[in-house]
Amino acid sequence: MINLATFREALHDAPIVPVLTVTTVEHAAPLARALISGGLKSAEVTLRTDVALDVISEMKATEHDFVVGAGTIVSEGDVDAALKAGADFLVSPGASPDLLKALAYHDGVILPGVSTASEAMARFEEGYGVLKFFPAEAAGGANFLKSLAGPLPHIDFMPTGGVKPHNALDYLSLPNVIAAGGTWIASPTEMESGDWAGIEAKVREASGLGKGNSHD
- 132 occurs within a structural domain: yes
Three-state SS at 68: strand
Distance CA 110, CA 129 (A): 9
What is the tens place of the pLDDT at every residue in 3-60?
999 999 999 989 999 999 999 999 999 999 999 999 999 999 999 999 999 999 999 9
- Domain annotation covers residue 199: yes
136 lies in some domain: yes
Q: How many domains does the chain have?
A: 1
Does residue 173 form part of some domain? yes
Which is catalytic among the residues 44, 58, 190, 200? 44
- Report if residue 212 sits inside a domain: no
For residue 216, the model assigns a pLDDT of: 47
pLDDT in the model for residue 13 = 85
Residue 214 lies inside a defined structural domain of this protein: no
Q: 215 lies in a domain?
A: no
89-91 and 109-111 beta bridge pairing:
parallel
Task: Report the chain's C-alpha Rg in angstroms.
Answer: 16
Residue numbers of the domain that contains 109: 4-207
Report the pLDDT averaged over residues 137-150.
98
φ and ψ at 62, to 5 degrees?
-75, -45
* 213 part of a folded domain: no
CATH number where 58 lies = 3.20.20.70
Does 44 participate in catalysis according to the annotation?
Answer: yes
Query: Residue 108's pLDDT is what?
Result: 95
Catalytic residue, from 58, 60, 63, 132: name it. 132
Banded model confidence at residue 210, pLDDT cuts 50, 70, 90 = confident
